[in-house]
Structure 1
Amino acid sequence: MAHRARTLGLSLLGYMVGLAALSGCQQEVAAPPATPVPEVAVITVTTQTVVDEPEFIGQTESSRPVEIRPQVTGIIKERLFQEGRDVKMGALLYQIDPVPFQAAAMSAKAMVAQAEARLVQAKQNHALSRGERPRDGQAHPRRNGRAVEKFPVGR
Protein backbone atom coordinates (compact mmCIF):
# COMPACT_ATOMS: atom_id res chain seq x y z
CA MET A 1 0.00 0.00 0.00
CA ALA A 2 2.82 2.28 0.66
CA HIS A 3 3.89 1.62 -2.85
CA ARG A 4 0.44 2.49 -4.12
CA ALA A 5 0.32 5.73 -2.13
CA ARG A 6 3.71 6.72 -3.44
CA THR A 7 2.63 6.01 -7.02
CA LEU A 8 -0.53 7.96 -6.52
CA GLY A 9 1.41 10.87 -5.02
CA LEU A 10 3.91 10.87 -7.87
CA SER A 11 1.11 10.68 -10.42
CA LEU A 12 -0.62 13.63 -8.86
CA LEU A 13 2.62 15.56 -8.73
CA GLY A 14 3.28 14.83 -12.40
CA TYR A 15 -0.25 15.78 -13.33
CA MET A 16 0.07 19.14 -11.53
CA VAL A 17 3.47 19.87 -13.12
CA GLY A 18 1.97 19.11 -16.53
CA LEU A 19 -0.96 21.45 -15.92
CA ALA A 20 1.38 24.19 -14.80
CA ALA A 21 3.50 23.72 -17.92
CA LEU A 22 0.47 23.77 -20.20
CA SER A 23 -0.98 26.87 -18.59
CA GLY A 24 2.28 28.70 -19.19
CA CYS A 25 2.08 27.83 -22.90
CA GLN A 26 -0.95 29.98 -23.60
CA GLN A 27 -0.46 32.91 -25.96
CA GLU A 28 0.13 36.18 -24.23
CA VAL A 29 -2.60 38.74 -24.65
CA ALA A 30 -1.27 41.85 -26.33
CA ALA A 31 -1.42 44.91 -24.12
CA PRO A 32 -3.82 47.61 -25.36
CA PRO A 33 -2.11 50.48 -27.15
CA ALA A 34 -1.06 53.28 -24.86
CA THR A 35 -3.38 56.29 -24.86
CA PRO A 36 -1.82 59.40 -26.34
CA VAL A 37 -0.69 62.07 -23.94
CA PRO A 38 -3.40 64.76 -23.80
CA GLU A 39 -2.47 68.32 -24.69
CA VAL A 40 -3.01 70.82 -21.92
CA ALA A 41 -2.78 74.59 -21.77
CA VAL A 42 -0.14 76.04 -19.53
CA ILE A 43 -0.34 79.51 -18.02
CA THR A 44 1.97 81.41 -15.77
CA VAL A 45 0.45 82.33 -12.43
CA THR A 46 0.76 85.98 -11.47
CA THR A 47 -0.21 87.92 -8.38
CA GLN A 48 -2.93 90.56 -8.72
CA THR A 49 -5.54 92.31 -6.61
CA VAL A 50 -9.07 90.95 -6.98
CA VAL A 51 -12.03 93.14 -6.03
CA ASP A 52 -14.59 91.09 -4.17
CA GLU A 53 -18.03 92.09 -5.42
CA PRO A 54 -20.81 90.49 -3.42
CA GLU A 55 -23.60 88.97 -5.48
CA PHE A 56 -27.01 88.40 -3.93
CA ILE A 57 -30.15 86.77 -5.20
CA GLY A 58 -33.43 88.10 -3.90
CA GLN A 59 -36.89 89.30 -4.74
CA THR A 60 -38.10 92.87 -4.37
CA GLU A 61 -41.57 94.25 -4.01
CA SER A 62 -42.85 97.73 -4.78
CA SER A 63 -43.56 100.01 -1.85
CA ARG A 64 -46.77 101.10 -3.58
CA PRO A 65 -48.91 98.73 -5.62
CA VAL A 66 -49.92 100.08 -9.02
CA GLU A 67 -53.21 99.18 -10.62
CA ILE A 68 -53.63 99.71 -14.35
CA ARG A 69 -57.21 100.29 -15.44
CA PRO A 70 -58.38 100.95 -19.00
CA GLN A 71 -60.06 104.23 -19.85
CA VAL A 72 -61.68 102.70 -22.93
CA THR A 73 -62.63 99.22 -24.04
CA GLY A 74 -61.08 97.57 -27.04
CA ILE A 75 -58.86 94.81 -28.34
CA ILE A 76 -55.23 95.11 -27.21
CA LYS A 77 -52.89 94.79 -30.20
CA GLU A 78 -49.57 95.23 -28.39
CA ARG A 79 -48.16 95.70 -24.88
CA LEU A 80 -45.57 98.48 -25.05
CA PHE A 81 -43.85 98.00 -21.69
CA GLN A 82 -41.79 95.25 -20.09
CA GLU A 83 -42.96 93.93 -16.78
CA GLY A 84 -40.66 94.94 -13.94
CA ARG A 85 -39.13 97.90 -15.83
CA ASP A 86 -39.56 101.59 -15.00
CA VAL A 87 -42.38 103.41 -16.78
CA LYS A 88 -42.37 107.19 -17.15
CA MET A 89 -45.50 109.21 -16.56
CA GLY A 90 -47.49 109.66 -19.75
CA ALA A 91 -45.76 106.78 -21.57
CA LEU A 92 -47.93 104.54 -23.73
CA LEU A 93 -48.55 101.17 -22.11
CA TYR A 94 -50.82 99.41 -24.59
CA GLN A 95 -51.79 99.82 -28.23
CA ILE A 96 -55.50 99.26 -28.80
CA ASP A 97 -56.97 98.31 -32.18
CA PRO A 98 -58.13 101.65 -33.70
CA VAL A 99 -60.63 100.22 -36.22
CA PRO A 100 -63.71 100.22 -33.92
CA PHE A 101 -62.91 103.77 -32.77
CA GLN A 102 -62.46 105.00 -36.35
CA ALA A 103 -65.80 103.44 -37.30
CA ALA A 104 -67.50 105.11 -34.31
CA ALA A 105 -65.93 108.47 -35.24
CA MET A 106 -67.12 108.17 -38.85
CA SER A 107 -70.61 107.24 -37.63
CA ALA A 108 -70.65 110.26 -35.30
CA LYS A 109 -69.53 112.56 -38.15
CA ALA A 110 -72.32 111.19 -40.33
CA MET A 111 -74.85 111.84 -37.56
CA VAL A 112 -73.54 115.42 -37.20
CA ALA A 113 -73.89 115.95 -40.97
CA GLN A 114 -77.48 114.63 -40.84
CA ALA A 115 -78.31 116.88 -37.90
CA GLU A 116 -76.83 119.91 -39.69
CA ALA A 117 -78.86 119.11 -42.81
CA ARG A 118 -82.04 118.80 -40.72
CA LEU A 119 -81.21 122.13 -39.04
CA VAL A 120 -80.83 123.89 -42.40
CA GLN A 121 -84.12 122.41 -43.59
CA ALA A 122 -85.86 123.35 -40.34
CA LYS A 123 -84.61 126.94 -40.65
CA GLN A 124 -85.89 127.09 -44.24
CA ASN A 125 -89.25 125.65 -43.23
CA HIS A 126 -89.49 128.09 -40.34
CA ALA A 127 -88.72 131.00 -42.65
CA LEU A 128 -91.40 129.78 -45.06
CA SER A 129 -93.94 129.47 -42.26
CA ARG A 130 -93.34 133.12 -41.32
CA GLY A 131 -94.11 134.13 -44.86
CA GLU A 132 -90.59 134.81 -46.01
CA ARG A 133 -89.81 133.99 -49.57
CA PRO A 134 -87.09 131.53 -50.52
CA ARG A 135 -83.92 132.88 -52.10
CA ASP A 136 -85.13 132.10 -55.61
CA GLY A 137 -88.10 134.42 -55.01
CA GLN A 138 -90.91 131.87 -55.43
CA ALA A 139 -93.35 130.87 -52.72
CA HIS A 140 -93.86 127.22 -51.86
CA PRO A 141 -97.39 126.81 -50.52
CA ARG A 142 -97.03 123.03 -49.97
CA ARG A 143 -93.97 123.49 -47.81
CA ASN A 144 -95.61 126.24 -45.83
CA GLY A 145 -98.28 123.92 -44.37
CA ARG A 146 -95.82 121.13 -43.69
CA ALA A 147 -93.45 123.48 -41.89
CA VAL A 148 -96.24 124.62 -39.56
CA GLU A 149 -97.20 121.03 -38.82
CA LYS A 150 -93.64 119.92 -38.11
CA PHE A 151 -92.42 122.96 -36.23
CA PRO A 152 -95.28 124.81 -34.58
CA VAL A 153 -93.98 128.22 -33.62
CA GLY A 154 -95.73 130.35 -31.01
CA ARG A 155 -98.58 127.94 -30.36
Structure 2
Amino acid sequence: MIRSIILALVLVVLSMPAFAVEPGEMLKDPALEARARELSKEVRCLVCQNQSIDDSNAGLAKDLRVILRERLVAGDSDSEIKTFLVERYGDFVLLKPPVKAETLFLWYGPFAIGVLGAIGVAVFLLRRRDGGGDEAVPMPLSDDERKRIDALMSEQDRKA
Protein backbone atom coordinates (compact mmCIF):
# COMPACT_ATOMS: atom_id res chain seq x y z
CA MET A 1 0.00 0.00 0.00
CA ILE A 2 2.74 2.44 0.98
CA ARG A 3 4.74 1.47 -2.09
CA SER A 4 1.74 2.30 -4.28
CA ILE A 5 1.39 5.73 -2.70
CA ILE A 6 5.11 6.47 -3.08
CA LEU A 7 5.01 5.30 -6.70
CA ALA A 8 1.97 7.48 -7.40
CA LEU A 9 3.68 10.53 -5.85
CA VAL A 10 6.85 9.92 -7.85
CA LEU A 11 4.83 9.61 -11.07
CA VAL A 12 2.93 12.81 -10.30
CA VAL A 13 6.15 14.71 -9.64
CA LEU A 14 7.81 13.34 -12.78
CA SER A 15 4.82 14.19 -14.94
CA MET A 16 4.77 17.83 -13.85
CA PRO A 17 6.39 20.22 -16.30
CA ALA A 18 9.86 21.32 -15.30
CA PHE A 19 10.01 25.07 -15.29
CA ALA A 20 13.65 25.91 -15.45
CA VAL A 21 13.35 29.68 -15.09
CA GLU A 22 15.09 30.65 -11.89
CA PRO A 23 13.71 33.43 -9.68
CA GLY A 24 16.79 35.60 -10.31
CA GLU A 25 16.09 35.54 -14.04
CA MET A 26 12.51 36.78 -13.76
CA LEU A 27 11.68 40.34 -14.73
CA LYS A 28 9.95 42.66 -12.27
CA ASP A 29 7.42 43.79 -14.88
CA PRO A 30 4.75 41.04 -15.10
CA ALA A 31 3.85 41.96 -18.69
CA LEU A 32 7.47 41.68 -19.85
CA GLU A 33 7.92 38.44 -17.91
CA ALA A 34 4.82 36.99 -19.60
CA ARG A 35 6.26 37.96 -23.02
CA ALA A 36 9.60 36.44 -22.03
CA ARG A 37 7.93 33.16 -21.04
CA GLU A 38 5.98 32.99 -24.30
CA LEU A 39 9.10 33.71 -26.35
CA SER A 40 11.13 31.17 -24.36
CA LYS A 41 8.63 28.48 -25.31
CA GLU A 42 9.39 29.14 -29.00
CA VAL A 43 13.20 28.95 -28.67
CA ARG A 44 14.95 25.57 -28.80
CA CYS A 45 17.58 24.59 -26.26
CA LEU A 46 20.57 23.83 -28.44
CA VAL A 47 21.90 21.35 -25.87
CA CYS A 48 18.69 19.38 -25.28
CA GLN A 49 17.45 19.97 -28.85
CA ASN A 50 13.87 18.93 -28.22
CA GLN A 51 13.07 21.20 -25.30
CA SER A 52 12.37 24.88 -25.20
CA ILE A 53 14.71 27.10 -23.20
CA ASP A 54 11.76 27.66 -20.88
CA ASP A 55 11.88 23.98 -19.86
CA SER A 56 15.61 23.29 -20.03
CA ASN A 57 18.06 23.46 -17.14
CA ALA A 58 21.11 23.49 -19.43
CA GLY A 59 23.60 26.32 -19.01
CA LEU A 60 23.15 27.52 -22.60
CA ALA A 61 19.37 27.63 -22.11
CA LYS A 62 19.86 29.84 -19.07
CA ASP A 63 22.15 32.13 -21.07
CA LEU A 64 19.55 32.35 -23.85
CA ARG A 65 16.81 33.18 -21.33
CA VAL A 66 18.97 35.97 -19.90
CA ILE A 67 19.74 37.35 -23.39
CA LEU A 68 16.07 37.20 -24.30
CA ARG A 69 15.09 39.15 -21.17
CA GLU A 70 17.86 41.70 -21.71
CA ARG A 71 16.57 42.32 -25.23
CA LEU A 72 13.01 42.72 -23.92
CA VAL A 73 14.13 45.27 -21.34
CA ALA A 74 16.04 47.09 -24.10
CA GLY A 75 12.72 47.47 -25.96
CA ASP A 76 13.15 44.94 -28.78
CA SER A 77 10.02 43.45 -30.32
CA ASP A 78 9.41 39.71 -30.36
CA SER A 79 10.39 39.47 -34.03
CA GLU A 80 13.60 41.47 -33.42
CA ILE A 81 14.57 39.09 -30.63
CA LYS A 82 13.90 36.04 -32.82
CA THR A 83 15.90 37.61 -35.66
CA PHE A 84 18.79 38.29 -33.26
CA LEU A 85 18.80 34.67 -32.06
CA VAL A 86 18.52 33.27 -35.60
CA GLU A 87 21.43 35.43 -36.79
CA ARG A 88 23.51 34.16 -33.91
CA TYR A 89 22.48 30.47 -33.79
CA GLY A 90 20.70 29.73 -37.10
CA ASP A 91 17.11 28.74 -37.87
CA PHE A 92 17.44 25.59 -35.75
CA VAL A 93 17.21 27.73 -32.59
CA LEU A 94 13.49 28.17 -33.27
CA LEU A 95 11.22 25.27 -32.34
CA LYS A 96 9.20 26.09 -35.48
CA PRO A 97 11.79 27.18 -38.04
CA PRO A 98 10.53 29.04 -41.13
CA VAL A 99 9.93 27.05 -44.30
CA LYS A 100 12.67 28.01 -46.74
CA ALA A 101 15.31 26.28 -48.85
CA GLU A 102 17.71 25.76 -45.93
CA THR A 103 15.05 24.26 -43.66
CA LEU A 104 13.19 22.03 -46.11
CA PHE A 105 14.84 18.93 -44.66
CA LEU A 106 13.78 19.92 -41.13
CA TRP A 107 10.17 20.23 -42.29
CA TYR A 108 9.82 17.46 -44.87
CA GLY A 109 12.70 15.08 -44.08
CA PRO A 110 10.75 12.93 -41.59
CA PHE A 111 7.83 12.70 -44.01
CA ALA A 112 10.14 11.70 -46.89
CA ILE A 113 11.85 9.06 -44.75
CA GLY A 114 8.44 7.67 -43.73
CA VAL A 115 7.27 7.48 -47.35
CA LEU A 116 10.49 5.77 -48.46
CA GLY A 117 10.18 3.30 -45.59
CA ALA A 118 6.56 2.53 -46.52
CA ILE A 119 7.56 1.97 -50.16
CA GLY A 120 10.36 -0.35 -49.03
CA VAL A 121 8.00 -2.37 -46.84
CA ALA A 122 5.41 -2.57 -49.65
CA VAL A 123 8.03 -3.81 -52.13
CA PHE A 124 9.27 -6.38 -49.61
CA LEU A 125 5.75 -7.66 -48.94
CA LEU A 126 4.84 -7.81 -52.64
CA ARG A 127 7.98 -9.77 -53.49
CA ARG A 128 7.34 -12.11 -50.59
CA ARG A 129 3.74 -12.68 -51.70
CA ASP A 130 4.78 -13.37 -55.29
CA GLY A 131 7.27 -15.97 -54.15
CA GLY A 132 10.30 -13.77 -54.39
CA GLY A 133 10.43 -13.38 -58.14
CA ASP A 134 14.22 -13.62 -58.09
CA GLU A 135 14.42 -17.36 -57.48
CA ALA A 136 16.20 -19.24 -60.25
CA VAL A 137 14.27 -22.00 -62.03
CA PRO A 138 16.34 -25.20 -61.92
CA MET A 139 17.55 -26.51 -65.27
CA PRO A 140 16.42 -30.02 -66.20
CA LEU A 141 19.02 -32.73 -65.76
CA SER A 142 20.91 -33.97 -68.78
CA ASP A 143 20.99 -37.69 -69.60
CA ASP A 144 24.58 -37.97 -68.28
CA GLU A 145 23.60 -36.31 -64.98
CA ARG A 146 20.57 -38.57 -64.62
CA LYS A 147 22.74 -41.70 -65.19
CA ARG A 148 25.27 -40.46 -62.62
CA ILE A 149 22.52 -39.92 -60.01
CA ASP A 150 21.05 -43.38 -60.70
CA ALA A 151 24.50 -44.92 -60.26
CA LEU A 152 25.04 -43.10 -56.95
CA MET A 153 21.60 -44.13 -55.70
CA SER A 154 22.10 -47.79 -56.56
CA GLU A 155 25.53 -47.70 -54.88
CA GLN A 156 23.88 -46.25 -51.77
CA ASP A 157 21.22 -49.00 -51.82
CA ARG A 158 23.90 -51.69 -51.98
CA LYS A 159 25.67 -50.25 -48.91
CA ALA A 160 22.47 -50.13 -46.90
Give the TM-score taking structure 1 as reference length: 0.25
Higher RCO structure (Cα 8 Å, ≥6 apart): 2
Q: Which structure is higher in strand share? A: 1
Q: Which structure is higher in helix share? A: 2
Rg (Cα) greater in structure: 1
Give the TM-score taking structure 2 as reference length: 0.24
